[in-house]
């Protein structure tokens, strides 16, 4: 079942338009900051492990995002990677979810593959999703019922009937291989499908929406890693499934995003490798 077949609660058109405009503006700001500073004196520190980076840019962009959202949407709480949850975020009708730099290790190293992600979320999942891909000069946006766009151009998941010759994206979980990853890679290879681990969960999901990848499988992540990208993928026509294979708009314990006609095949690879 694709997201488009689900009945999602309606959103006030004025709120939707304002949220899209503000989120797009913040993504543009983030693009400017990331491209100006990547790999050049970002003063990184670590959180839980030596590979769990946080930089001045992470903090600066999240503070800027929070200031703008507090002005434009004073009644909507914010959930962010660096500064946690605003009071009342749990159970609020709407919440903003932001990851200022997804792929911080790449950003620190100067590898051109990281993103800024922002989503407005309600009880049914992403209402608005925005992902900035600074190095490619692209901003991907989606609003519930309004489709997905790349720099303003409508995008749809292309029809795919086979995985052979395609790319599937995945990511490590907490910097480590997730249980069964090696068997997943073997299953994909046996189907003549390439697998890529590139370092940004948001961009991995977005590649499915753009048609660059046929699927993305993520074993471990946080809400802010994927909320914006799932909004884009769902509006582009991708299937979003949880770990059990059920349709979901914002699964929080493993997810598969795929072109509809190949979702079952990739899900079988994933199901067959769980430990």
For residue 95, what are its two tokens? 């919440």
Q: Give the 3-state secondary structure of residue 255.
A: strand
Residues 13-154: name the CATH superfamily: Fructose-1,6-Bisphosphatase, subunit A, domain 1 (3.30.540.10)
122 is in an annotated binding site: no
Question: How much is the pTM?
Answer: 0.92
**CATH 3.30.540.10-classified regions of the chain:** 13-154
Partner residues linked to 116 by β-bridges: 132
Nearest one of 164, 166, 269 to 210, comparing CA atoms: 166
Where does the pLDDT of residue 238 fall: very low under 50, low under 70, confident under 90, or very high at 90 and above?
A: very high
Looking at the chain, the domain(s) classified CATH 3.40.190.80 span 167-272
> Any idea which fold 167-272 has?
D-Maltodextrin-Binding Protein; domain 2 (3.40.190)
Contact (Cβ atoms closer than 8 angstroms) between residue 251 and residue 239: no
Residue 56, marked binder: no
Both tokens of 199, joined, read 């370092």
Distance, CA of 155 to CA of 150 (rounded, Å): 7
Residue 235 annotated as binding site: no
Q: 273 near 217, Cβ under 8 Å? A: no
Tens digits of per-residue pLDDT, 250-273?
A: 998 899 999 999 999 999 999 987
- Choose the weakest-confidence range: 56-60, 147-151, 266-270: 56-60
Q: Is 75 annotated as a binding residue?
A: no
Please answer whether residues 115 and 200 qualify as being in contact, where contact means their C-beta atoms are separated by less than 8 angstroms. yes
Locate 185 and state its tokens: 């890679």
């Amino acid at each position: 079942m694709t997201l488009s077949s689900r009945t999602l609660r309606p959103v006030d058109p004025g709120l939707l338009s304002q949220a899209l405009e503000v989120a797009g503006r913040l993504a543009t700001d983030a693009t400017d900051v990331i491209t100006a500073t990547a790999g050049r004196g970002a003063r990184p520190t670590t959180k839980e492990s030596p590979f769990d980076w946080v930089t001045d840019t992470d903090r600066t962009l999240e503070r800027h995002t929070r200031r703008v959202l507090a002005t434009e949407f004073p009644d909507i709480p914010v959930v962010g990677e660096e500064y946690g949850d605003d009071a009342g975020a749990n159970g609020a009708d709407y919440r903003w979810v932001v990851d200022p730099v997804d792929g911080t290790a790449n950003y620190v190293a100067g590898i051109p593959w990281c993103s800024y992600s922002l989503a407005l979320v309600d009880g049914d999942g992403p209402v608005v999703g925005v992902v900035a891909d600074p190095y490619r000069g692209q901003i991907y946006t989606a609003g519930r019922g309004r489709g997905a766009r790349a720099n303003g151009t409508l995008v749809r998941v292309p029809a795919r009937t086979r995985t052979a010759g395609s790319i599937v994206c995945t990511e490590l979980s907490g910097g480590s291989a997730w249980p069964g990853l090696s068997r997943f890679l073997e299953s994909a290879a046996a189907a003549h499908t390439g697998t890529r681990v590139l370092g940004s969960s948001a961009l991995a999901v977005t590649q499915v929406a753009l048609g660059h990848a046929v699927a993305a499988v993520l074993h471990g992540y946080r809400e802010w890693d994927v909320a914006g990208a799932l909004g884009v993928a769902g509006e582009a026509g991708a299937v979003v499934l949880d770990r059990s294979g059920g349709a979901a708009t914002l699964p929080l314990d493993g997810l598969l995003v795929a072109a509809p006609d190949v979702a079952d095949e990739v899900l079988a690879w994933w199901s067959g490798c769980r430990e």
